[in-house]
Structure 1
Amino acid sequence: MTDTCTPSMAHAIGESAATTVASTLKALADPFRLRVLSAIATDPRGESCVCDLAELADVSQPTVSHHLKVLKDTGLLASERRGTWVWYRIAPEKQHAVSSLLDAFAPAALANQTSETSDAALAKADALVEMDARVTRLAEELADEHADQSRDLVIAMVRESFAGLARAARVPQHLIPLTERFARQRLTDLARERKTGVPQVLFVCVQNAGRSQLAAALVNQLSDGRVVARSAGSAPAADVHPHVRSLLTEIEGGQRTDAAFPKPLTDDAVRAADVVVTMGCGDVCPIIPGVRYEDWAVGDPALASPEGVAAIRDDIAGRVRTLIDSLTND
């Protein structure tokens, strides 16, 4: 036996290869890029466009395009322009590597999460499974109530509404009444003929937890019933932000703030609206002929100081008054 250290470096990764791998790992060392990669890899279509990926977070489409370019430069993604959109898919030669990263390494890296977190996730999953019978009963009741609509359509809409709300829900026991409210509104939207009756405005932001909720509440307060406003989000949060909920309490005089909850953006909501307003957060809505679109670049009250929140509220209120005038003055 020898007491000298004579290690062999023959099996270590080469310098050039290490540089290339490190460059790829550096590109992946960003939470949003990992989410983008996962979204593309798991998309049932086998590809995703920028408009889809912008829903992952409150970022603009140019920001998403930048992150996609970084991933493409590493060779992980391939792209193809079709019409006005660029579509991205996992490069065929990197499929196995990406699968290994997402299916093996990521779960291993997360293995140190607390048992309480795992238990809470299991409890939520169990609660959602138990709700299936209640969702079925609600769907049947609304289908009976809306006999003028296709029964299959109503049932599918209720189940889709439940699924959309369940994705972000922290407290599953509130899901059934929220699902009923949301499904009823969607059925109303489905039957509405745009350009008739009271004008309807839809405010949209990514999480539907701040600016869009505030704008809708201000329209409903200041229009005195002459305009109806709703709000939605492409990736709704679990709840309205506390700063915004306190503003809603002030606006509504302490009434009906329980009606404010983040809701998924749907095509029927856009089709029913006379005006769709995005709140400067980079969200994108379906383009429906005859619908007027506006984008308001306003601050986010959820991130602002108390003084900033007041300024944002006043800014939105001024825009709301102009919008109301445009919809109610012949």
Structure 2
Amino acid sequence: MNLTLTGTADACSPVATHAIGQEAAGTVAATLKALADPLRLRMLSAIASDPRGESCVCDLAELADVSQPTVSHHLKVLKDVDVLTSERRGTWVWYRINPSRRSAVTALLDSFAPATMTAPSEDGNSEDRDIRPDFDIRITHLADELAAEIPELAPETVLSIVRESYTSLARTAKVTGALVPLTERFARQRLADITRDRNHSVPQVLFVCVANAGRSQLAAALVNQIAGGKVIARSAGSSPAEIIHPHVRSILAEIEGDAAAARFPKPLTDDAVRAADVVITMGCGDVCPIIPGVRYDDWAVGDPALASREGVEAIRDDIEGRVRALVNELIH
């Protein structure tokens, strides 16, 4: 018997494709080729995580034991594919991430890089997945150092605070290069709040807004400037942003000078509320836990995220007037 096969079940049926275009693919390939160097990736991470928003060639030369011309060559490669922009000031050249490429750099450094280095834990613990192996060693070392400075707290308590601080900041970090120093600052603040003795310390005020990227940062900076150490100010956000608003950061620099570079959005914690004598909410609603003995006020001030530079200056003036009245009340 002769059989004629007229078709098969797994025959290929071509369909329309939606692949990236040839020109776009060429551009992406050129960029990926430029990034395919460990030192270039480290320099890119250093620039992206620099609190100044830019890095000097002299800073980047410290990343590896290579000559400055070699560093300049690698930076030129990244600049040629529009990942970086540069500006010469005097004898030095400063580099920053090209604004049009920042989202791509963020995806590469904050998402793709950790994914290639970390395997999910067997028990599916999300907090363990948040701390990559290389960071876990550094975080544990940081906890040991802080525990030695604060003998009144159990080492396991300090380790827990440090790990929680890292995990909280990592959820909103744009890049991971600065996470360890930011974790140290945040953990130190939390540990200071936990060990605060209300009977032998100056009044403490906590300013809370949604993003901790504008008004609460301004209020805290103004308290520290006006009170001269007679009142301590903290700030936090119910849903912290990735960075401080640019207009606000420039005004913070006018208030605090170089110290403003250390400011960053921080999440709200029960420890901060519990340590405060006064909690000032600024447009974040009823997000603060109610702790007995803590005074709560709400300041209806404008949101810098929606304002121009002139508008932010007006908001600062409004907050400054309120801060002066509050500081005068607390120290007299």
Q: Above 0.5 in TM-score?
A: yes
In 1: Cα distance, 2:262 partner to 2:286 partner: 23
1:131: how far off? 1.1
1:144: how far off? 2.5
1:234: how far off? 1.7
2:318 is aligned to 315
The one-letter amino acid of 1:136's match is T
Q: 1:178 to 1:119 in 2, by over 3 A?
A: closer
The one-letter amino acid of 2:112's match is L
The one-letter amino acid of 1:273's match is A
1:244 is aligned to 248
Name which of structure 1's ranges 143-152 and 258-267 shifts more when overlaid on structure 2: 143-152
1:124: how far off? 4.1
Q: 1:229 to 1:145 in 2, by over 3 A?
A: same
1:155: how far off? 0.6
1:306: how far off? 2.4
In 1: Cα distance, 2:179 partner to 2:265 partner: 12
In 2: Cα distance, 1:282 partner to 1:303 partner: 18
Question: Are the counterparts in 2 of residues 161 and 179 from structure 1 also a CA contact under 8 Å?
Answer: yes
In 2: Cα distance, 1:181 partner to 1:236 partner: 16
Instruction: Please show how residues 63-102 of structure 1 align to structure 2 within 5 Å.
Output: none
1:226 is aligned to 230
In 2: Cα distance, 1:204 partner to 1:172 partner: 25
1:295 is aligned to 298
Name the SS for the 2:292 alignment partner.
Answer: coil
The one-letter amino acid of 2:248's match is V
1:195: how far off? 4.9
Q: 1:202 to 1:117 in 2, by over 3 A?
A: closer
Question: Are the counterparts in 1 of residues 238 and 284 from structure 2 also a CA contact under 8 Å?
Answer: no
Question: Are the counterparts in 2 of residues 279 and 297 from structure 1 also a CA contact under 8 Å?
Answer: yes
2:269 aligned with 1:266, yes or no? Answer: yes
2:45 is aligned to none
Q: 1:194 to 1:123 in 2, by over 3 A?
A: same
- Residue number among 141, 145, 170 corresponding to 1:141 in the alignment: 145
In 1: Cα distance, 2:105 partner to 2:246 partner: 25
Instruction: Please show how residues 3-14 of structure 1 align to structure 2 within 5 Å.
Output: none
1:115: how far off? 8.8
2:135 aligned with 1:131, yes or no? Answer: yes
1:152: how far off? 1.1
Name the SS for the 1:281 alignment partner.
Answer: coil
In 2: Cα distance, 1:115 partner to 1:299 partner: 32
Question: Are the counterparts in 2 of residues 276 and 291 from structure 1 also a CA contact under 8 Å?
Answer: yes
In 2: Cα distance, 1:313 partner to 1:137 partner: 40
1:307: how far off? 2.4
Deviations 1:276-307, CA, capped at 9 Å, x for gaps: 10112325101111111011010011220222
2:215 is aligned to 211
| Structure 2, gaps ≥5 residues long | 1-102, 119-130
Percent of pairs with identical residues: 65
1:248: how far off? 0.2
1:178 is aligned to 182
1:320: how far off? 0.4
- Residue number among 185, 192, 195 corresponding to 1:188 in the alignment: 192
- Residue number among 112, 115, 136 corresponding to 1:122 in the alignment: 112
2:156 aligned with 1:152, yes or no? Answer: yes
Q: 1:237 to 1:118 in 2, by over 3 A?
A: closer
In 2: Cα distance, 1:280 partner to 1:149 partner: 35
In 2: Cα distance, 1:243 partner to 1:124 partner: 31
In 1: Cα distance, 2:273 partner to 2:241 partner: 20
Q: 1:313 to 1:118 in 2, by over 3 A?
A: closer
In 2: Cα distance, 1:313 partner to 1:246 partner: 12
Deviations 1:215-239, CA, capped at 9 Å, x for gaps: 0001111112211111011221111
Name the SS for the 1:269 alignment partner.
Answer: helix
The one-letter amino acid of 1:289's match is P
May I ask how many residue pairs the two structures share in their alignment?
Answer: 215
In 2: Cα distance, 1:307 partner to 1:262 partner: 22
